Amino acid sequence: MTNAQVTALQYGFIGFLALWTVVLVPQLITQLARHGGLRPRGIATTGAVLLYGCMTLAVVFLPLPGPGARRLSQTAQLHPFQWITDIHTEMLKHGSQWFMTQTFQQACLNVLLFVPLGVFARVLWRRGLTGTVLIGFAASLAIEFTQVTANFGTAPYVYRIFDVDDLMNNTFGAGVGWVFGALLLAVLRSPIGVQPARRERVHFAETR
């Protein structure tokens, strides 16, 4: 992870704290009025979604180009699996192992970036695998389109590359997240978690 990405994450976390402060108070008031008490699961879920959203947007769009920043010589990369060729080139240039190359690490980060989205789609929104993959693809495409249009013209020029490999890796990450979410739900719904309650009901029936 580069210094720029670390700085972007710091800004994203600050943005999350500011946004959650604004959202948290109305949520607490609503829960107290509607349910007569607080629901920690709902508060935690809202926090997790906001944290993911803020951190993702920060990594994708920050840092913004400064006055002396160099413009990109290439604004679009449309060759699928170009990152594999780039890994080979980087290995020849620097003599490093493939898993230590910046290209490989960046590809992994692009996959991991969308894993939480896949988990949310399965656990919170109850989407199937196909629906989750489509959500991941649509979200990634929206990000790439925003980047190639210089944030819809609000940035002075295009400072991020539209990369079809990013689109593929992001979508794959959403699918991986869906699998994790499905496994999590399977563990929570396993008979092990409900067995003590069944024994208690049987014991109660016998005493009567």
Q: How many whole angstroms from its chain centre is CA 109?
A: 10
> Two tokens at 156?
């002075």
- CA–CA separation, 40 vs 10, rounded Å? 26
pLDDT at residue 207, as a whole number: 46
pLDDT at residue 192, as a whole number: 58
* DSSP H helical ranges for the chain: 3-35, 40-61, 82-94, 102-113, 115-123, 129-148, 164-188, 191-207
C-alpha distances in Å from residue 100, one per residue of 59, 82, 94, 106, 166: 21, 17, 10, 10, 19
pLDDT tens across 115-168, in order? 999 999 999 999 999 999 999 999 999 999 999 999 988 888 899 999 999 999
- Looking at every residue in the chain, the average pLDDT score rounds to 88
What are the extents of the domains in the chain?
A: 1-63, 75-208
> Predicted confidence band at 3 (pLDDT cuts at 50, 70, 90)?
confident
Q: What is the mean pLDDT of residues 7-36?
A: 92
Three-state DSSP at 163 gives strand
Task: Kindly give the pairing relationship between strand 76-77 and strand 162-163.
Answer: parallel
Q: Quick one: 54 exposed, middle or buried, by C-beta within 10 A (0-12, 13-18, 19+)?
A: buried
Q: What is the mean pLDDT of residues 181-205?
A: 66
pLDDT of residue 185 exceeding 50, the answer is yes
- CA–CA separation, 91 vs 102, rounded Å? 10
- CA–CA separation, 148 vs 161, rounded Å? 7
Contact 65, 156 (CB under 8 A): yes
Please give the single-letter amino acid code of residue 12. Answer: G
- CA–CA separation, 39 vs 176, rounded Å? 29
Instruction: Please name the residue that has the structure tokens 């107290």.
Output: 32
Please give the single-letter amino acid code of residue 176. Answer: V
Bridge partner residues of 77 (DSSP) = 163
